[in-house]
Structure 1
């Protein structure tokens, strides 16, 4: 390799690097990765946060990632249960997505929710970490969720104020028009599919201005369905997903009751395409990381 080509390679690698070494994700089922099943991932789900961490780890040898999100959590629960553990891990990058489950409940107030979130984001920002703040997607064409579109829009505008107050970065789900494709959604129509999580990970990386190796997928238009086929699918969905969800709301139960975080400690990310070192090197790295957390 010539000196010129070597210098060009070094410059390209430098441009691809980012400043973060420890990433912690806070939230509910969206951040836990529900809808993107993967038996090889902690908790059995991958999701956009895992995909994001995998890309961030490519250019940082000492990169570590924790995911404290638990499905079904309300905003106040996320603040009460996840904020202090997140700060204790001393991250330099934190993502938080909260409030979606609150907005689904009758009588919820998007203004009051934003006040609660503002306090949490302030604490995270004061720690010195970069805060990645997710707003809500435009769910106007989504069954069930369409009823709260107005609340989501109000909440999103409040989040822009929160982000401006604390110099947080907005991961703009509302503007991600690709999410209107039905294939971006899981079969329960409440969570994102693997393709949806993949698309959101790309958006988050671009919001952070991080170069990545993910290729945008542009699926062909979904084939038309007959009325009879669509009706049959609706009945299956209602029986398997919507009715149990309504029953949980009536009984004041959460799908996350009894569950713990999928990645409660910050650890190296070994995703697809991330090279593994020798056994001794991995063990030494893990020992150093754990010593730093003690």
Structure 2
């Protein structure tokens, strides 16, 4: 008998409410920006606060059954197709099986909490816009079947064949979760939660870079005067991005992988996280941006 969908089903209202998290936002005033403001009566230098905080850019789902994204309202974006029908894995998740192959689909969809989050963050002062557009599909693994299911061509990349390169955790430190490359849906491991987290990190790695050999849309914003957007996501580096669990349990805090927090295994193999990314900006107070000054200790 299959596991009922309600066990790990996630809806948009849950995701929106989860974005009201001070821990994940980490709002800080980190400096001062200077603007040249000119009118018919002359020019003046105006100042505005330089702020830095995280923004929930996307929801990254990592799930076993093709066509069954745990976020119910976006499930129709990633249906089964002729090249992506099956899912699941060869492991029942018991220790005696050791290292059998697992497979996860992954979808990266624009976070739906943009308006609610902007209002929430705006209570602290000026809020920076993120790169994510609400409900925009940035990556859908069923549309990327050659790279996601066959790891072509990344299976021969140096990152994929060099032990210890681009990995989440460390073998000597006994907290190794898995490798980023090849960035596909297959990996080996017993712990389903950790495998799903590695797959989510792989999907996040793809969409936060340009020119990758995958079918996707970059989840990146362009820098402009007074606005410094997030760059590439890097594993285990919170200054590049953090993860907030949405299902099978919903968390009000953010973390990176690996971590020592207790993990709940999903009965259906369905997991989802909000990907929070760091942005720095200042309110425009004139026509020309003159520069900025950072306070001591303002780094992420």
Structure scoring higher RCO (CA < 8 A, sep ≥ 6) equals 2
Q: Comparing both structures, which one devotes a greater share of its residues to helix?
A: 1
Give the TM-score band, short-chain normalised: under 0.3
Q: TM-score, normalised by structure 1?
A: 0.22
Higher strand fraction (1 or 2)? 2
- Scaled by the length of structure 2, the TM-score of the pair is 0.22
